Structure 1
Amino acid sequence: MEEKIRTIVGPAPSPKTGKGFTLPFNVRLMRLGFRHLGAIAPRLVSKVASKLFFTPVIRKRPEWPADLLSSGQAVRVPFNGHALHGYRWGGEGQPLVLFVHGWENEAAHFQFFIQEILKQGFAVAAFDAPAHGNSRGQQQTNMFEYSLAVGAIFKHFGKIHTIIGHSMGGAASFYRCAKTPEIELENLVMISSPTDIQGIFTRLKQTLHISDKVIANMQNAMHHRFNIDRDIYDLTQLWNKVNAKRVLLVHDKNDIVVPCTDAQRLAEVWSKAQMLITENYGHNRIIREAEPIKEVVEFISQA
């Protein structure tokens, strides 16, 4: 994969998939309340919006294939007074690939990816992020804490060959690599990942009809609690601090969760970053379908 930017097109979406997105009734009800309460009780609205924003919804959990699960070793990494739960496959001498899942997903969403990576002779580790899957010692989390979890996993293993992060998992991995010079990677792969983190708050504001003051209160509370640097809001400013030899950005051009422009902005400023633009794979299907998986596996196998 020598080209700077490549494109692959998947099967056309079904007519149902092509229909416009409609906000759920409960979200429409909340935005009505936020619109009227925001002006008179911004602190209250900030607290409620923060709880919604930083609490992952528990969704139907994917089942691990029995043979894959039985061949892995259960791993627990202490974190934040609790533990990150995950699995490891492969021998100690094999280069280790770490999978970091997205918001409201868990490690099992990577099962198709993991099986293909193992065929190439890599060892694999995959964990449930804080407040996700089996790592539910807490109810809330955020991208900064996600990134700290990646740092804890790195310290546990000591060396990681490749990180493959999906959505928020890719952004958190990028940020932790930028803030931790000790993390040296052969490959960093970011799939459907946001780079304009301020844009996430902007989309939240537009969806829930909350004010700039409420957003500012949410961010200030987050900064006060976690002592977060302001550089977290634009990841394109941190590319030169990431110690990865090869970088691949994978994004669907019609992703409705994270716009493809987020990946394009990073590719424009990061000369070593190659970009794979897909079409018809969306935000989540992209980590389950054979063609995108094949492209990523080939990329990391070249190193």
Structure 2
Amino acid sequence: MSGLLALLDDVAGIAKVAAASVDDVAAAAGKAGAKTAGVIIDDAAVTPKYVQGFAPARELPIIWRIARGSIFNKLVLLLPVAMLLANFAPWMITPLLMLGGSYLCFEGAEKIFHVLFPHGDKHIEQDMSIQDPGHLEEKKVKGAIKTDFILSAEIMTIALSAIEAPNVWMQAATLAVVGLGVTIAVYGSVALIVKMDDVGLFLANNSRTGIGRGLGRGLVRFMPVLLKILSIVGTAAMLWVGGSILVHGLEELGFGWLGHHIHDIAYAVGHSVPAGWTAVVEWIAKATMDGVLGLAWGMVLIPLTTKIILPLWSTVSGKPAAH
């Protein structure tokens, strides 16, 4: 009996440790996930374009295929690499973060450049020329998963840099929770967004009350506005996150003067308003300066990428440059 009681006591002790570990993982995942907010917003804003033009019945299956690819990207491809970097080459994390931040700056700046200087997109024109819906769907899904890989790499790297775990297993578990949580948040939101107009159309045609039909028509009319808002917010988030990553990376590498100047200016702006608004205004000022820096760096990268890097990659790989 005493042996059984001792065993039960040990099991209870293990359960307590396991419960504490779960709480630690959840807390660390929440903290790390918050750091990736800007990239998540952009991911959610970018993804709906991949189902545009398809029959409503194919929208959710396409999103599910992309979500599965995203989970594979994060947990099978990126998680092992992240753990190897964290434990054997931690010095590479900051340069990789800055590389990912530069990519975000480039993408955000390119979107603004397209608005200021509209021109045709040969890749969109190629998609429109594809007559086979199955072939077009396959092409769209592969393109979405490829884009997701880049954004997922940035999310996982940002999360990794924010995780403070006592051991490698806790670190891996936290990163896996962040990866799954982000995927569910992004593609769950995308599924709601792309089906909202169908819900509105159903209400407009089938609701028994005038209020219901009016709500349905309102949803249908609001969806293009919502997608536009998401696109703007996503672009701003890319530039803000990209710029802040570059500033923080420079500080980590010993070049902290830019970050200090931004902090001092934001502090002065924040303390020029009534006390109740100080923190909010200071944050807005810092985020704005990070975003402007991200835009400036992205504009520098546009000709560098399109005229040098992509053609060089095309020559080396033997494949046509694609973006």
TM over 0.5: no
Which TM-score applies when normalising by structure 1?
A: 0.23
Name which structure has the greater RCO, CA cutoff 8 Å, separation 6+: 2
Q: TM-score, normalised by structure 2?
A: 0.22
Larger Rg: 2
